[in-house]
Copies of this chain bind each other. A is one copy, B any other.
């Protein structure tokens, strides 16, 4: 039996519909989506809205970052009060690196597509992970390039059939989770846009995490990759989703004491005091074992299995801003006195060149 005690001082909201900041769900919404009706990305958008709402993150503190693609457009569809940047194709990871260092207090969420991340943006994605840039990095993975009309992306499974039924993908898919683990990522999850509960829970845990949290979310493109033979269709995902565990999350500010059966539930304590619980389903999976995670993903890729859940967790690594030992205040708004050395310093330097 493990007992989880969390932060004893909750901020209980008055309005039953409001969160701990007194904000209502609507304040976490954004512009109306222009995606195709039924697109998996819209489901993820809803989950994001709810997760941030439920976690009580101040919208103004959020930075929404994206590249280009249907997925990348979605940053416009949630948290309209937050600043967003829809940058260029494939470079969001690097843009986010700059933004998050410029302002440490930002809660960064990056939304990317499988094309944006695994093709044109692959190198930046990997280097971002390696640096442990503090960001929730969501890959809305539909195995294709939605916005350019359905070409296979690098995450399309081997044997996946293209719309029209004539072309079969021969290439090995790139597994962004496996690569993230390889680059030292401490928070790696795979999930399915339609499994809204799991998505939301993972997002909440990712909000509590500081460092790069990679969420590879299978998110069907209902227009171009939702047919028979696609391994990223709604039907395929629904039928094949195989959760590694049932995930629960208790934020640090919630005063609850829960008892878990340590035989069936693993409890992950996060540095900020929040807790992730992983309750056993069919598998006996340990999210702390990097090699096991890689083996699982390898198997999944070979046998076209669709495991979901928290693939790997390790809270030990310092995020980039801490590695760099930045001042507490945002660099962006430091006053002149702190960013321009003195007249005397200049004189001293000038002398060294005489």
Q: A172 contacts which chain B residues (CB < 8 A)? A: 130, 183-184
Q: Is A133 an interface residue (CB 8 A)?
A: no
Question: How long is the Cα–Cα vector from A154 to B154 in the complex, in angstroms?
Answer: 24
Known: A291-B291, A291-B298. A122 touches B126 (CB 8 A): yes
Question: How long is the Cα–Cα vector from A59 to B126 in the complex, in angstroms?
Answer: 37
Q: Would you call B171 and A130 a contact (CB within 8 A)?
A: yes
Q: A295 contacts which chain B residues (CB < 8 A)? A: 291, 294
A334 to chain B, nearest CB (A): 24
Question: How long is the Cα–Cα vector from A240 to B298 in the complex, in angstroms?
Answer: 30
Q: A170 contacts which chain B residues (CB < 8 A)? A: 323
A124 to chain B, nearest CB (A): 8
Option from B131, B179, B184 in Cβ contact (under 8 Å) with A179: B179
A118 to chain B, nearest CB (A): 9
Count identical subunits in the complex: 2
Q: Would you call B131 and A171 a contact (CB within 8 A)?
A: yes
What does the 1/0 interface line of A236-275 toward B look like (CB < 8 Å)?
0000000000000000000000000000000000000000
Q: Is A34 an interface residue (CB 8 A)?
A: no
A68 to chain B, nearest CB (A): 16
Q: Would you call A178 and B174 a contact (CB within 8 A)?
A: no
Q: Would you call A174 and B130 a contact (CB within 8 A)?
A: yes
Question: How long is the Cα–Cα vector from A172 to B320 in the complex, in angstroms?
Answer: 12
Residue of B nearest to A124 (CB): B123
A327 to chain B, nearest CB (A): 19
What does the 1/0 interface line of A155-197 toward B look like (CB < 8 Å)?
0000000000000001110110011001110000000000000
Question: How long is the Cα–Cα vector from A131 to B119 in the complex, in angstroms?
Answer: 13
Option from B122, B126, B130, B175 in Cβ contact (under 8 Å) with A127: B122
Question: How long is the Cα–Cα vector from A290 to B178 in the complex, in angstroms?
Answer: 13
Q: Would you call A175 and B182 a contact (CB within 8 A)?
A: yes
What does the 1/0 interface line of A103-136 toward B look like (CB < 8 Å)?
0000000000000000111110011001100000
Residue of B nearest to A297 (CB): B182
A186 to chain B, nearest CB (A): 11
Residue of B nearest to A296 (CB): B291
A174 to chain B, nearest CB (A): 7
A126 to chain B, nearest CB (A): 6
Q: A294 contacts which chain B residues (CB < 8 A)? A: 291, 294-295, 298
Residue of B nearest to A126 (CB): B122
Q: A291 contacts which chain B residues (CB < 8 A)? A: 291, 294-295, 298
Q: A298 contacts which chain B residues (CB < 8 A)? A: 290-291, 294
Most buried by B among A174, A175, A182, A291: A182
Known: A179-B179, A291-B291. 12 other contacts (CB 8 A): A119-B123, A119-B127, A121-B123, A122-B122, A122-B126, A122-B127, A123-B123, A131-B171, A178-B182, A291-B294, A294-B294, A294-B298
| 26 CB-based A-B contacts, threshold 8 Å | A119-B123, A119-B127, A121-B123, A122-B122, A122-B123, A122-B127, A123-B123, A127-B154, A130-B171, A130-B172, A130-B174, A170-B323, A172-B183, A172-B184, A174-B183, A175-B182, A178-B182, A179-B179, A290-B298, A291-B291, A291-B294, A291-B295, A291-B298, A294-B294, A294-B295, A294-B298
Rank and list the top 4 A-B pairs by shortest CB-CB distance, nearest first: A122-B123, A123-B123, A172-B184, A291-B295
